[in-house]
């Protein structure tokens, strides 16, 4: 199981620019935490939706960076359940082999956490992609 997170983490960190093709306004980070346990970073992020319609599928990430703009890490924030207008949801997981533990070591005000929405499928079947 631990190897799965290492490979997942490697895939997340080797991707292109997280902001290259996304909407940063339709999902808002409300709360976040990073706790280090042994060699893993336990991450939890609560996101609020500003979507105009209820959704049933979201393709998104949460990106952590420091006050100087250096990227700390990125986690998946995909959601595959009904999400009402204005609702919140929490994405969480444990990640090994990443730099996410740095977010726990820095002063909280020196960590920027942003949501990157790449696509959404609405309850009515329409879809919107941000490219």
β-pairing, 88-96 vs 71-76, is unpaired
pLDDT tens column, 62-98:
999 999 999 999 999 999 999 999 999 999 999 998 8
The reported pLDDT for the residue numbered 95 is: 93
| Digit-coded pLDDT (tens) for 7-53 | 344 444 434 444 568 999 999 999 999 999 988 999 999 999 999 99
Q: What's residue 98's pLDDT?
A: 86
Nearest to 16 by CA among 52, 49, 61, 80: 61
Report all structural domains of the chain as residue ranges with CATH numbers, in order of start. 2-129 (2.60.40)
**Interval 94-123: pLDDT, tens:** 999 889 999 999 999 999 999 999 999 999
């Amino acid at each position: 199981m631990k190897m799965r997170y290492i490979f997942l983490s490697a895939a997340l960190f080797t991707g292109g620019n997280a902001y290259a093709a996304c909407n940063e306004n339709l999902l808002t980070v409300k709360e976040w935490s990073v706790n280090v346990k042994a060699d893993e970073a336990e991450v939890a992020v609560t996101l609020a939706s500003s979507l105009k319609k209820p959704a049933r599928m979201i393709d998104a990430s949460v990106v952590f960076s420091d006050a100087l703009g250096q990227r700390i890490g990125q986690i998946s924030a995909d959601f595959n359940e009904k999400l009402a207008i204005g609702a919140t949801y929490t994405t969480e997981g444990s990640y090994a082999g990443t730099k996410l533990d740095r977010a726990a070591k820095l002063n909280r005000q020196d960590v920027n956490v942003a949501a990157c929405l790449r696509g959404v499928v609405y309850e009515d079947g329409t879809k919107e992609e941000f490219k």
